[in-house]
Structure formats: C-alpha cells, structure tokens
Structure 1
Amino acid sequence: MLTPVFQINQTSEHVIIEIRAPYANVKDTEVDYCDLQFFFTSKPYFLKLYLPGELAEEQISGTYDCDKGSFTFKALKKNVGEFFPNLDLVNQLLKPSDIHAKRLVEETGEDSGILADFLNEPQSAQISDDDVIDDFMDEKCKLYGYGFAWSRCGIIGKFSAEIDNLLDLENPEDSLIDERFVDCLKHDQLKFDVEHYIADLFEKNPLLDECLQFEYPDTTFDLSFKSRDHLKDLPK
C-alpha cells in the first residue's frame, strides 16, 4: 500500500484534511476515525494519521476533485475552538505519540493481564541479533549521538586518523551531548580573538547590512507538494 501525500488545515471549528491520491479507486474509498486516529483507505493508498486533538466522529464529510486527483475531508472538532498544534509536522502525524500510547494502555482494561503475560513472556527466540544491535545503537545515540537529530554514532571514530585535525572535540564518540554544549562554549571563549573580529566593527560592509535586514516572506515556509512527499517517507 502507498502512503499518499496529505495536508491538514484547521479553523476554530473544523479540521480539513486534503489527500492527494490520483490513482485511487473512488468507489472503494473508506474513511474512519477512532481514538485520535484518522484512517483513509482507497487502493492502492492507505493513510493512518495520529491527530493531536479529538474530532466529532459523526461529523466527517468528504469530496473528490477528479482534476487534481485529491480528496478533501472536513471534520468537526469535538471541542470547538480547540487549537490542534503541529499539523505541518508531516512525519510526526504518521507515528503514535506518548498521548496515543497512554490511551492504548488505559483502554486495555480487563485485558491488562493478557498484556502483562505477553510482555513478560521470554522473547529471546523472537528477537534477532540485528534488533539487539539496533536497540543498543539507538540508546547510545541518545547519549553520544551527533549529526541530524543526534541520530549518528560510531562513524567519526572509524576515520579519526584521517580527520583528526578537522575536529575541535577531542573524543566525539565518548562525548556526552549535554557536556558537549559546555565544551563548545569554553572553546569559543578560549579561542576568541578580539583583533580578528574588531575590523567588522569599524569597516562597514553594505552586503552584510543587507543580509541582516532581509526579511523572509510569509510564503517561504509553506511546504510544497515535493517537500510533503519527501517528509512522509522519512523513517518513523
């Protein structure tokens, strides 16, 4: 199944979900909402969204634009006037948050004993070595990671001999993220050269002034179709 490109907007009363699905079979299209989760299916597309607020289940209407190949669904908010945050964070809407996980645990109710038995059941036979390694690396990245979203570790160490002079950090693989900020501040204070930067104070640079006065237009941060298509495919 394919994950379609989507966009969500809101008013004080409604949430509007636009789904781009040009190859969908309209007659087989189904939409459902349950427990903060919005479901859309229309072969070959499937979309499951984890919303940050509740909708009124009985108040979902939809239209299809054959020229654009897109569906538009309008749903009434359960609490009129509530603001739904982070509706532009495409990747975040595709994965469950702590709120959804908590609601799932609460709703197990009488089945909690079954869930506990399942969690306590030995799973060594079901977990592969690759899974164990991945879990270990994920935990290490939370403490010592670097790169985008601290998602990398164990890479710089492999090339330490070749890039030793390029890094100011003495041992990046064993440097805690929290301590790294302090080390960076100390390094900047130690290496700061007043004579090197004082020229900027007295020598005016018109190009620099123009850059500092530049203001982004409001449309700069609107996500394009191409950007949304890329974001939905990022690892969840």
Structure 2
Amino acid sequence: MITPAFELSQDAESLTIAIRVPYARVSEFEVYFEGVDFKFYAKPYFLRLTLPGRIVENGSEDGSYDVDKGIFTLRMSKETPGQHFEGLNMLTSLLASKKSRSAKPLVEVTGSSELPVESNEDEEEDFDWEIEQSPYEELTENDLNSQCPYGFGNLRTGVFKRLQDELSDVIDVKEPDSTPPAERRQKRLAAEESKFDPDHYLADYFEDEAIRKVLKYKPWWTIAFAKMMASAERSQEQSDQEAFQVSFSKEENYQLLKFTNKSYLLDKRAQYYVYYGLIDILLAYCYEIRVTEGESNVESPWNIRKLSGTLSWFESWNNVHEILVSFGRRVLCYPLYRHFKLVTKAHVDTVKILQLGRSATLKCLLDIHKIFQENDPAYILNDLYISDYCIWIQKVKSRKLASLAETLQRTYVTKGHLGLEIEELETAALLVQGEETEVEAPCQQLPGFDSLTGGPAKSDGISSPKAADLSVDRAKRADCEGGKTNSLEENTVPNTDSLELCTKPDIWTCDVGQEKSVSSSQSPRVSAPLIIELEEEMETEPRPSQHHETSPVDEGKQPA
C-alpha cells in the first residue's frame, strides 16, 4: 500500500483533510473516522491517522473529489466545537505508529492509542536544565568497552565497527565504539588547540569585508520571528507562540511522510543529551546558512558536522555554556570565516528558531537531513541523529522549547572563555599595527578597534589603541553584579567580549542603544540579548569614511 500525500486544516467547527490520490477510482474508496482515529482507503492508497483531537459523525460531514488534481477533500465535524487541534502540520506524528525496520534500533513504543504517545518527560511541570553530577569512579577496561554509546540520546553502539572505511570521512573521533565520553572530549580539545591558526584569525579580524557582508544577511527565521513578535504585540497573547505556524513546502511534507513514526523511551539524562545536542546542531546549521547566504553547496555537509561537537565527536553536553564554548572554539579553528561575531550571530539565530517553536525547528532539521542525504558518506549522521530528531521534535511540548530558548538566551560566552588566548593575540596585533602606523604617519590618526565589535575611532578623543583599551576596560566593569546590569558610560564602546556568563534576565529591562525603556508588555523571553541587539543597531548606523593602513597580517590569511 502507498501512503498518500495529505494536508490538514481546521476552523472552529470542523476539520478538513485533503488527500492526493492520483489515478485512484472515484467509485472505489472507503473512509472511516471515530474519535481520534481516521482511515482512508482507495486502492493502492491507504492512510491511517491518529488525530490530535476528536471528531464525530453527525450528518454534516461532506466530501469531494477533484478529478484534474486527483485530490479527495473530506470535511468532518469536531466533537467539541471551538476546540483548537494543535500540531496539524506535524505529519509524521499523525501517522499511526508502526514497527521500526532498522537493525539494533532505539527503544520504541508501538501500538495504537487515542492520543499521540509522548515521553514521560512531558509529565513533569518543572524542567531544570542542569544535569545532576555524580562522583568520578575509576572504570575497568571491560566497563570502558561496554559504555561508549553515541547517536540520538546516546542509544546506539557498535555502528562504526561495520563502517571503518567511511569513518574518517564522517567524524573526527577515532574508534568511537571503544572511546569513552571523557576521552573524546580531551581529544577534541587537543585537536582544536593544534588546529587554531593565529594568522588566519587575525586576517579575518582586520580584513572583515566578506564577514560584514554575511553578517547583514537575514535568514528566513529572522523575518518569521519579526512577524511573530508583531502578531504577539497586536494580540497581546505572547504565551501562545505555536499560534504562529511556519509552513512547509511540498518537498518537506514528502520528507515527513517517509519517516517512521515512533516514540522514544528516554531516561532523564538522555533527555538532557537530546535537548543539548539539538542546540549544538542548530548552532552549526545557523552558521552554515549565514555564510552561504541560504544557498547550500558541496561544502555545507562538512561545515555543519565540523562545527558541531555532537556530530563530529559524539559529545554529550552537561549545560548550555559548554555548548557555546565548544561551538565558538570550532568556529575559530575550522571554517573559512573565523570571527567571534559569527558566533554571537549564530547564538541569536538559534534562540529565534527555538522561540518560533516546533515548526521552525523541524524545518531546519529537515534541511539538515536533506543536506546530509545528498552527500556521501554524511548520510550516516542522518541515521545516527537527524532522522530521530525530525521524528522526536514533532511530539515535544512547546513549553519545553520555550524553556530551552530562554536558557540559551540568558547564557553568554566571551572570547576569554574559549581558551585560545585570542584577546592577547588581538592586543599584540593592535600594538604592532599602532607602532608601524606611528613610524609611517606619526601625525595620522590611528584606526580604532575591530569595526565589527567596537567601531572606528570616534571624534570624542578615542584616537589610539591605548584609549580604546581604556574604554573596553570600562565596559568590562559593566558586569552582572547583584542581579542588575550597570549602566554604560556615555561614549563607551559596547563589546560582547566584556560580558561574563550571565543568567539574570534583568539585562533586558533597558535598551542601551536607544536609551529607552522597553515596554513592560514585551516578554524578556522573546527578546534578543541586549548587547547583541546594541551591536546590530551600531551596524546600521552610517560610518564616516576613513583611510585604513595595510595590516601586517593581511598577507597571512589562508583559506580553511
């Protein structure tokens, strides 16, 4: 039997299902529906759905068939008029559960029920994003060999024993089946230390024209997020973000129909690994979309898996901050464009995607799945992670993603956290640049700090690196102390690098860039981080033209 393409829509009184069945006989079809069960048969098509709400047969139902398009349209009444059915665009989760065909699969629940099966995590009202720590215990060799899982929820083992030839082209960790998580992390950090190239980093730091261009790019979720915020302000119902739906293309709907519907039995620790792994993968994807301006290429699979510690090293994360640190390090070590501003942009983009809800997150995962599926051998990562994420995300409650987005939004990472000594490197390079400029043109005003983070030298007296250093020092003292954000001095150059890890929402109570209070009706949970918002305002301001001297590191830039 063939599962047909279908779409669902609703109004206050009824539910409508449009089913595409070309070449089916109009006189030979059967429809059955009761409660949450719906069945449709028209040889060779068969469709069975578990609906998110109950429908009833009361004589007002009707149907039609468009011969030219081959589409059956069935309209049925809701048992409770006015009830809103959520998740009608989550097509995979609506399909009736069936057995998995994969070898050595994840644990799954099969069988029919009146409502879609959700994991036990959804029964918890409070959700704390910190994993409980346990004392370190020395393990024997047998224990190490038997406790090296990976994949979605760390529920797979032994996969790469059969794929040794393709292993090196997909992931960085060697022999993952016998390498415990702690050793993977140590090797990852060592690999990043050896890969970091100061010349490449400084070249991108000073010659930032190409980077500035990609920073101005607006991906689709930026526009969707702005529409959602405008809609929330008009309706004053910011709590119901799922009301703003992100639409799927026909190709994406076909992708959803190909997945096997199943539910995952994850313990509490595995749930954390899944949520944190989602953040890590989305960060890498946001970077890739920005630097390619939405046009994926042959390097896209490499970029996504290389920037994600989850995909390249099978990392298991304990908190959001270490995810951002890992992502920041890998951005400055591997891709073509290596600038800290790209880290903060990907951070903001990921927050927006999560705040848009399940539909937006699923849309991104489907794009990653497509990118990997068209690349050999990256498709292996679909089997290990992405396919399961596409199925799992359709049953995640909206409040869980909102909580995850809020935690990510309130967490910051600075250059100092990355452990690559890039602040010292920048200071030394600026001193060298200043000395050479003084020799060549002692009376000429020196260029200011990095135009992406501090802007050009101002006419208010900041005309040398030393003066700029003083302004940065003042910004660094504007810290998160006592749950409040100190006001920045006038003419101080704001810098994201000066922020320490801060999880206090008070920093969103004022807009420093505009020096106006934010309306009390605006929810902190759906506003971008303050300092990053300020930098975006600075990017749009007109800049005075100035002559830049040639940087001594310009010739050191090499492609990744």
Is the TM value for this pair above 0.5? Answer: yes
User: How many pairs align?
Assistant: 193
Structure-1 residue corresponding to 2:83:
82
Residues 158 and 47 (structure 1 numbering): CA distance in 2 closer, same or farther, change over 3 Å?
closer
Contact 1:16 1:74 in 2 (8 A): yes
Question: What do the CA deviations read for 1:13-56 (whole angstroms, capped 9, x no partner)?
Answer: 33221100122222232222123111112223221111122123
Structure-1 residue corresponding to 2:65:
64
Q: Superposed, which structure 2 residues align to 1:18-29 within 5 Å?
A: 18-29=18-29
Greater strand percent: which structure? 1
CA distance in 2, matches of 1:102, 1:174: 40
Q: Superposed, which structure 2 residues align to 1:34-183 within 5 Å?
A: 34-58=34-58, 59-96=60-97, 101=112, 103=114, 144-146=149-151, 153-160=157-164, 163=167, 167-174=171-178, 179=181
Counterpart AA for 2:259 = L
CA distance in 1, matches of 2:211, 2:94: 41
Unaligned runs of 5+ in 1: 105-142
Counterpart AA for 1:204 = D
CA distance in 1, matches of 2:46, 2:29: 10
CA distance in 2, matches of 1:86, 1:99: 20
Residues 162 and 75 (structure 1 numbering): CA distance in 2 closer, same or farther, change over 3 Å?
closer
Mapped pair 1:232 → 2:257: yes
Counterpart AA for 2:209 = N
Say which SS state the counterpart of residue 187 (structure 1) adopts. helix
Q: Name the stretch that deviates more: 76-85 or 189-198.
A: 189-198
Structure-1 residue corresponding to 2:125:
none
Say which SS state the counterpart of residue 53 (structure 1) adopts. strand
How far the C-alpha of 1:57 sits from its partner, in A, is 3.0
How far the C-alpha of 1:199 sits from its partner, in A, is 3.9
Structure-2 residue corresponding to 1:223:
249
TM-score of the superposition, structure 2-length normalised?
0.29
Unaligned runs of 5+ in 2: 99-108, 116-147, 225-245, 262-560
CA distance in 2, matches of 1:86, 1:174: 41
Counterpart AA for 1:71 = F
Identity %: 29
Contact 2:149 2:155 in 1 (8 A): no
Structure-1 residue corresponding to 2:30:
30
Greater helix percent: which structure? 2
Structure-2 residue corresponding to 1:129:
none
Structure number with greater Rg is 2
Question: What do the CA deviations read for 1:36-80 (whole angstroms, capped 9, x no partner)?
Answer: 111112223221111122123324321111111101112232233
Counterpart AA for 1:93 = L
Mapped pair 1:14 → 2:14: yes
Question: What do the CA deviations read for 1:205-234 (whole angstroms, capped 9, x no partner)?
Answer: 33653365223277x95221x443453233
Contact 1:23 1:44 in 2 (8 A): no
Residues 175 and 41 (structure 1 numbering): CA distance in 2 closer, same or farther, change over 3 Å?
farther
Residues 206 and 41 (structure 1 numbering): CA distance in 2 closer, same or farther, change over 3 Å?
same
CA distance in 1, matches of 2:157, 2:213: 39
Greater RCO structure (CA 8 Å; 6+ sep): 1
Residues 189 and 43 (structure 1 numbering): CA distance in 2 closer, same or farther, change over 3 Å?
same
Contact 2:39 2:49 in 1 (8 A): yes
Residues 165 and 63 (structure 1 numbering): CA distance in 2 closer, same or farther, change over 3 Å?
closer
Counterpart AA for 1:157 = K
Residues 157 and 229 (structure 1 numbering): CA distance in 2 closer, same or farther, change over 3 Å?
same
CA distance in 1, matches of 2:111, 2:154: 25
Counterpart AA for 1:31 = V
Q: Name the stretch that deviates more: 40-49 or 154-163.
A: 154-163
- CA RMSD for the aligned pairs? 4.1
CA distance in 2, matches of 1:185, 1:74: 58
Counterpart AA for 2:49 = L
CA distance in 2, matches of 1:88, 1:154: 35
Counterpart AA for 2:217 = Q
TM-score of the superposition, structure 1-length normalised?
0.61
Contact 1:8 1:18 in 2 (8 A): yes
Say which SS state the counterpart of residue 52 (structure 2) adopts. coil
Counterpart AA for 1:173 = D
Contact 1:18 1:70 in 2 (8 A): yes
CA distance in 2, matches of 1:183, 1:174: 10
